[in-house]
Amino acid sequence: MEEKRINIILFGPPGSGKGTQAKQLEEKFGLVQVSTGDLFRYEMGNNTPLGQKAKEYMNKGQLVPDEVTVGMLKNKIDKFPESKGFIFDGFPRTIPQAEALDALLAERGESVNSLIALKVDDDEIVKRLLERGKTSGRADDANEEVIRNRIAVYKAETSPVYNYYAEKDLSVEIEGVGSIEDIQGRLASLIESI
């Protein structure tokens, strides 16, 4: 019998450690990390039809429509038919995106197994991002006001997604503060229980 794939949404505000944790989970469980930021860079960098479409919207200062983002997501998933599952990092951010992800997985007879939210308080996030800003070269990591605005946007836009999966009894919150190893241990034991 074929092993069931695991599909995890790793959730948390900017600077909560999603990227760091996703990379380690990827290695430990044989999952594939799907980061929307990486998808956009890949599609646009390779000038694919979806990348060209995304650029058109971005050049006009508009948000890239969900169907373009979901198309990129589908391309990524299709590249890894043998994977043990996926860690979605930075997606979905809205209810329509969550519904689109559910539909995309349902086409494959799969579903989201869990949304895991890393809980980190605002002051800790500000501290982490200001620290990261010293080396990342990202302007949005260097200004506390911008960081606090990013946190507010995250809370406003993405808390409905947490609730959407909570209604399906799939949302879990874990402590996102401590050593990378401690947080990894919490995540791993949660995933092992799925």
Q: Point out the residues that are catalytic.
A: 18, 93, 132, 138, 150
Q: From CA 124, how far away is CA 181, in angstroms rounded? A: 18
Tokens of 112: 């989201």
Q: From CA 86, how far away is CA 37, in angstroms rounded? A: 15
Tokens of 92: 């979905």
Percent helix, strand, coil in the chain (nearest 5)?
60, 15, 30
Angle of helix 122-136 relative to helix 144-166, nearest 10 degrees, comes to 120
